[in-house]
Amino acid sequence: MLMANLALPRYWAVYGLLLQVLLFLLYQPALSIASSLLFALLLTFQAWRLYQNKPALSNRQINTLLAPLLLLMLLQVRQLGVLNLMLHILLLAAVARSLTVQQRGQGLQLLWVHYFAIACCFIFYQQMSMAILIFALALLNLYLQYRLFAPAESTLQPKRLLSIFALSFPLWLGMFLLFPRLPPLWQLPNQNMASTGLGDELDPGSIEKLVQSDALAFRVSFLNERPDKADWYWRAKVYEDFDGRRWQVNARFNSRQRRAMATELPAFSASAPLVKYQILAESSYQTDLFSLGLPVSWPANLVAKPAALMASQTPLTQRISYSLQSRLQPIPLASPAEKQLNLLQDTANPQARAFGAALATQFPAQPDKVVQALSAYFQQEPFFYTLTPPRLGQNAIDQFLYETRSGFCSHYASATAVVLRAAGIPARVVGGYLGGNWQENQQYLQVRQRDAHAWVEYLTASGWQRYDPTAAIAPERILEGIEQTLSDNERALLSGWQDNWLGQLALQWSHLDYVWSVWVLGFNQQDQEQLWQRLRRWEYWSVLLYSLGALLLLGAAVMLRQWVRQRADHAHQAWRWLTQALGTAPAAGCTLSSWLTTLAEQNPAQQQALERLRKLYEAAVFNDDAAALRLLRRELRLQRRSLRRLARQRKSA
Amino acid sequence: MMFKASKDWFKRKFAAWLAKRQPAATQVELTQSVIYILPSRFGWWFVFLIALLYLMGTNYQNNLILLLSFMLLSLLMVTMLLAFLNMHQLKLSVKQDARCFAPERAQLPLGLSSKSCQMLHIGLRGQRQRQLVESLSQQQRFALVLPTLSRGYYPLPRLELSSTFPLGLFRCWSYPALTSAIWVYPEAIEQLHANTERLAEQASKQTTPHALLEPDDVKSYQAGDSPKRILWRKLASAPEQPVVRSYGGEASPLPHWIKIPALQGAALESVLSHACFQLLALEQQGHSYGLQTQSVTLAPAKGALHLERCLQELALC
């Protein structure tokens, strides 16, 4: 093609470089330090080349440069992971190609790779601000594409752009809302990142660390009545194995049998209050999700784990939104094995276990009484709730119960579970989040890592009862949230900057981000089906369709009329009528007018009528006079008989 | 073999279909029924990209990637419309034939007009060579350079107008046919034999300039005579036989006859080249001349029109 050989202007390459620098910055989470340096070097070289106006590299030069770099990257595959390696190669392809581009035809591959690389940014970033930036990059790439195919001196016309936008935006939106969505077809490599949130192990100090983070954990909007604040215990993990110091998640949560178990719905009592809610969970690189009480209905893409926990099938690499329905009731016992598992004791902490045994003899087979006694114990003895507890040694529980007596929720929860097990009551520690910030204007609950919490579940005849020992020591933790519970000094430990105007701005932005997450990121197959159903149920469809049909018919009629008119313009029509009425047509080379004149001369009887016809014909055809055409038609109708007679005479002659 | 035969068959059928659909005319407007549009190669790559992004968005369950793929898809659709509108209502007109002497390339003057058309490629259908009109607004004259042809007469083949504006995703094209022809006259080469010498001799005799001569005689009109010399008063009485003033000096020269013998191949070409040179020389010197070929005899006359007729006859030999 001729156009493909046109030279590219310099500013094209400069814009391309800008785009690549931004891509390079966006790709930072995927790049190792060595490759970061390498790309920086390549981009600097390109900038220098453009500044100095040096010619582009030849294909051969770039290949000799690329081969070792590619090898270098392939050697890092272990360290990088497949996804990161792919991103490396993509970026390398883009940067290397831009070093060789000189003519318009060569820019196409570069643009294609750019589009793909830009789309890959969304694997890391889904926040609204980043999404806007990435879409802006896509538009810049689109502009570069336009430049490849447009005349060199043409400029973008705002009016034209607006009309293009007006055309494409409804299409875009419509496709996003209505284009069929599929479940994941196959597993793609994902980002290897450290997981955030509660871990699979619960150390005496692990929650304190988590609480110092201001990061968002998840957001909830309630679809029916909001439950009482005291019930906002978001369960995420259940710890059942205890080694004397540290609690761990039992292996049964990670076993492959959980799918089989998930199919049976738990027995729930219909009298317990039902909560319907939607959760928008931030990416945690874990599979565990959050739920209230006993979930009774969940979307198909989630997995129900033992102990009524919810999980996703793959680690959360991006925000997901899911809707649940829960009964606020004790969780039923799954099997006798579960009971046995939660009675296991360790040899450590003799004092705590003796305390439990004493409680058991005091209240035999009365778990609720034992728990009450324990609560009373915590309240009567000088126990403190603090974010900075002293370090504990070997018999951590004994030390906490009888020496330091100050700790955070995990200390109280694990001590309680140990004492209850010693008293012969099956008990386990539950990790999750408590409460959250209710956003009144936006009507959603914001739960941050700061709200991480641990509590206990113990088994009674009706199931696993929730017991939160922290409530005995620091009831305001449950009612007000963590900030109110801590002293001023400790509060300073929480990275808090919510009070100034910047904090307010950040909060507003986070609300906007929430709307974005719910409507854009959270829009899934389920929502789409609902949308389709709602569209189908719309009662005015028939009206719309009928009126559309009527409009179409009307349009077709108008077009048909126009077509008929065009087909039969005056000359044609007049010709057809006259020749039909007279039974013959004039000989070739003879005009209709002169033919009529000769006819009039030959037939003196009809001379006047024929002369009149001729005049009307001439007016209709040569003067384009519609009135004359109508008159001609009337005249022909009036003279029908005499003309037919004339035709017969001519035939017989 | 089979493949080639069927390909030829399809080509013929397609040409016949085109001829029926778009007969040649002096003015052609590109309307919806004669504009064809399909994705370009890059367009197909773009479709592939969209499919890839859709798959990636689905597998990562990432709405933003899906959003980007739908954005590109909606752009693809809008681009289809824009690419069509770019070519729509483009008018092409031709007023005269293309003429040239043998080794040169003929140029066909075309009139183009459009509301706004960018990056239009113009060429002949089936030929590689294309010319680019970057931006066309309102009316514009355009000289279409035709490929090198050997001596002869060629009807103008179908043109091919195409454009990939605005994003290169779609190629929009049309095959308009214009009623025009290409005349390639023989190359004018002077060849030194007896003929030429005689001609030079004759030319040297006529040194007296016309302006000095008085009109002293009348003769009958010959094609190519200046209308200024026509005796208008006599024309009224005998309109079929115009009479012109004759000057003594030029009454004598006999009309030159250029004869093309029955030859073939290279010999014929060389004779034609020489004849062409002679015709041009005679016309330049103001002589009247006649041409006799194997099939046609053109009576002696002069003037640009006569020259053209003679040259056309040479081209047809």
What is the span of the domain harbouring residue B296? Answer: 186-206+253-317
User: Quick check: is A146 in a domain?
Assistant: yes
Percent of chain A with pLDDT over 90: 22
Domain end call among A96, A125, A156:
A156
Least confident of A467-476, A566-575, A614-623: A566-575
Q: How confident is the model at residue A260 (pLDDT cuts 50, 70, 90)?
A: very low
Select from B62, B75, B167 the Cβ nearest to the Cβ of A122.
B62
pLDDT at B206 over 60: no
- Residue B52 to residue A181, Cβ atoms within 8 A: no
Yes or no: say if A286 and A303 are a contact pair by the CB < 8 Å rule.
no
pLDDT at B210 over 60: no
Closest-approach residue (CA) in chain A for B83? A149
Domain end call among A156, A183, A210:
A156
Average pLDDT of span A417-426: 90
Percent of chain B with pLDDT over 90: 30
Average pLDDT of span A506-511: 80
pLDDT of residue B56: 92
Q: Are residues B270 and B240 in the same domain?
A: no
Q: How many domains does chain A have?
A: 2
Average pLDDT of span A315-327: 85
Least confident of A190-194, A453-457, A529-533: A190-194
| ipTM score assigned to the predicted complex | 0.79
Structure tokens at A634: 């009337």
Q: Which of A72-76, A324-328, A574-578 has the highest mean pLDDT?
A: A324-328
Average pLDDT of span B239-265: 72
pLDDT at B299 over 70: yes
Can you tell me the distance from the alpha carbon of B12 to that of B20, in angstroms, rounded to the nearest whole number? 12
Q: How many domains does chain B have?
A: 3
- Residue B135 to residue A151, Cβ atoms within 8 A: yes
pLDDT at B36 over 90: yes
Chain B closest-CA separation from residue A522 CA (Å): 8
Mutation test of the interface with chain A: which of B41, B69, B74, choosing the one with the most A Cβ atoms within 10 A? B74
Classify A37 as helix, strand or coil.
helix
Can you tell me the distance from the alpha carbon of B158 to that of B179, in angstroms, rounded to the nearest whole number? 10
Looking at the complex, does the CB of residue A454 fall below 8 Å from at least one CB of chain B?
A: no
Select from B63, B68, B167 the Cβ nearest to the Cβ of A145.
B167
Domain end call among A156, A183, A200:
A156
Select from A148, A171, A179 the Cβ nearest to the Cβ of B77.
A171
pLDDT of residue A189: 67
Average pLDDT of span B297-302: 86
Select from B56, B81, B165 the Cβ nearest to the Cβ of A119.
B56
User: Quick check: is A74 in a domain?
Assistant: yes
Chain B closest-CA separation from residue A594 CA (Å): 28
Q: How confident is the model at residue B261 (pLDDT cuts 50, 70, 90)?
A: confident
Select from A152, A153, A184 the Cβ nearest to the Cβ of B61.
A184
Average pLDDT in chain B: 84
Structure tokens at A74: 């392939």
Can you tell me the distance from the alpha carbon of A460 to that of A457, in angstroms, rounded to the nearest whole number? 10
Yes or no: say if A177 and A528 are a contact pair by the CB < 8 Å rule.
yes
Structure tokens at B126: 């089936």
- Residue A142 to residue B70, Cβ atoms within 8 A: no
Looking at the complex, does the CB of residue A35 fall below 8 Å from at least one CB of chain B?
A: no
Q: Are residues B64 and B79 in the same domain?
A: yes
pLDDT of residue A321: 84
- Of A276, A305, A280, the C-alpha closest to A292 is A276
pLDDT at B213 over 50: no
pLDDT of residue A426: 92
Please report the beta strands in A207-352, taking only residues with DSSP state E, as ranges in sequence order.
Answer: 216-222, 233-239, 241-242, 247-248, 274-281, 291-292, 294-297, 302-305, 309-312, 320-327
Looking at the complex, does the CB of residue A228 fall below 8 Å from at least one CB of chain B?
A: no
Q: Are residues B34 and B24 in the same domain?
A: yes
pLDDT at A322 over 70: yes
Q: Are residues B119 and B70 in the same domain?
A: yes
- Residue B167 to residue A142, Cβ atoms within 8 A: yes
Q: Are residues B142 and B279 in the same domain?
A: no
pLDDT of residue A486: 66
Q: Find where tokens 């294909």 sit.
A: A59
pLDDT at A265 over 80: no
pLDDT of residue A498: 56
Q: Are residues B35 and B180 in the same domain?
A: yes
Residues of A in Cβ contact (< 8 Å) with B77: 168, 171
- Of A474, A448, A509, the C-alpha closest to A212 is A448
Select from A149, A185, A318 the Cβ nearest to the Cβ of B168.
A149
- pLDDT for A44-59, tens place per residue? 999 999 999 888 888 8
Q: Are residues B180 and B309 in the same domain?
A: no
pLDDT of residue A492: 61
Mutation test of the interface with chain A: which of B54, B68, B127, choosing the one with the most A Cβ atoms within 10 A? B68
- Residue B118 to residue A148, Cβ atoms within 8 A: no
Average pLDDT of span A197-219: 81
Can you tell me the distance from the alpha carbon of A317 to that of A190, in angstroms, rounded to the nearest whole number? 7
Average pLDDT of span A174-186: 85
- Residue A1 to residue B135, Cβ atoms within 8 A: no
pLDDT at B66 over 90: yes
Percent of chain A with pLDDT over 70: 93
pLDDT at A635 over 50: yes
Average pLDDT of span A266-272: 75
For residue A366, give the DSSP letter: -
Residues of A in Cβ contact (< 8 Å) with B166: 146, 149-150
Average pLDDT of span A76-81: 81
Average pLDDT of span B237-251: 66
Q: How confident is the model at residue A42 (pLDDT cuts 50, 70, 90)?
A: very high
Average pLDDT in chain A: 84
Structure tokens at A57: 């590299």
pLDDT at B273 over 80: yes
pLDDT of residue B298: 87
Chain B closest-CA separation from residue A124 CA (Å): 10
Q: What are phi and psi of A372, to 5 degrees?
A: -60, -45
Which of residues 388 through 407 in chain A touch B, CB cutoff 8 A?
Answer: none
Yes or no: say if A135 and B68 are a contact pair by the CB < 8 Å rule.
yes
pLDDT at A361 over 80: yes
Chain B closest-CA separation from residue A180 CA (Å): 10
Q: Are residues B157 and B27 in the same domain?
A: yes
Can you tell me the distance from the alpha carbon of B152 to that of B315, in angstroms, rounded to the nearest whole number? 5
Which of residues 53 through 112 in chain A touch B, CB cutoff 8 A?
Answer: 108, 112
- Residue A142 to residue B64, Cβ atoms within 8 A: no
- pLDDT for A338-353, tens place per residue? 888 888 888 888 888 8
- Residue A188 to residue B60, Cβ atoms within 8 A: yes
Average pLDDT of span A431-460: 88
Is pLDDT larger for residue A490 or for residue A449? A449
pLDDT at B194 over 60: no
pLDDT of residue A128: 87
pLDDT at A194 over 70: no
Chain A closest-CA separation from residue B168 CA (Å): 6
Q: Which of A198-212, A354-368, B77-91 has the highest mean pLDDT?
A: B77-91
User: Quick check: is B2 in a domain?
Assistant: no
- Looking up residue B67, the CATH number of its domain turns out to be 2.60.40.3770
Least confident of A156-165, A573-582, B290-299: A573-582
User: Quick check: is B47 in a domain?
Assistant: yes
- Residue A524 to residue B60, Cβ atoms within 8 A: no
**Which residues of chain B are at the A interface, by a Cβ-Cβ cutoff of 8 Å?**
42, 45-46, 49, 52-53, 55-56, 58-75, 77-78, 81-82, 118-119, 121, 130-132, 134-135, 164-168
- Residue B121 to residue A151, Cβ atoms within 8 A: no
pLDDT of residue A644: 83
Interchain CB contacts (distance < 8 Å): A and B = 129
Least confident of A400-409, A478-487, A538-547: A478-487
Q: How many helices (H) and strands (E) does chain B have?
A: 8, 15
Closest-approach residue (CA) in chain A for B47? A112
User: Quick check: is B9 in a domain?
Assistant: no
Q: Are residues B51 and B171 in the same domain?
A: yes
- pLDDT for A218-259, tens place per residue? 989 898 888 888 889 999 999 988 888 888 888 888 765 545
Q: Are residues B42 and B117 in the same domain?
A: yes
Q: Are residues B242 and B273 in the same domain?
A: no
What is the span of the domain harbouring residue A51? Answer: 3-156
pLDDT of residue A555: 95
- Residue B62 to residue A182, Cβ atoms within 8 A: no
- Residue B121 to residue A126, Cβ atoms within 8 A: no
Residues of B in Cβ contact (< 8 Å) with A138: 68, 71
Chain A closest-CA separation from residue B232 CA (Å): 34
pLDDT of residue A479: 67
Chain B closest-CA separation from residue A4 CA (Å): 11
Classify B85 as helix, strand or coil.
helix
Bridge partners of A323, per DSSP, are A278
Is pLDDT larger for residue B265 or for residue A264? B265
Select from A2, A171, A188 the Cβ nearest to the Cβ of B121.
A2
Q: Are residues B239 and B300 in the same domain?
A: no
- Residue B168 to residue A148, Cβ atoms within 8 A: yes
pLDDT at A570 over 80: no
pLDDT of residue A604: 83
Average pLDDT of span A415-423: 91
Can you tell me the distance from the alpha carbon of A302 to that of A602, in angstroms, rounded to the nearest whole number? 100
User: Quick check: is B4 in a domain?
Assistant: no
User: Quick check: is B11 in a domain?
Assistant: no
Is pLDDT larger for residue A491 or for residue A431? A431
Yes or no: say if A249 and A198 are a contact pair by the CB < 8 Å rule.
no
pLDDT of residue A476: 76
User: Quick check: is B308 in a domain?
Assistant: yes
- Residue B59 to residue A2, Cβ atoms within 8 A: no
Residues of B in Cβ contact (< 8 Å) with A185: 55, 58-59
Is pLDDT larger for residue A569 or for residue A276? A276
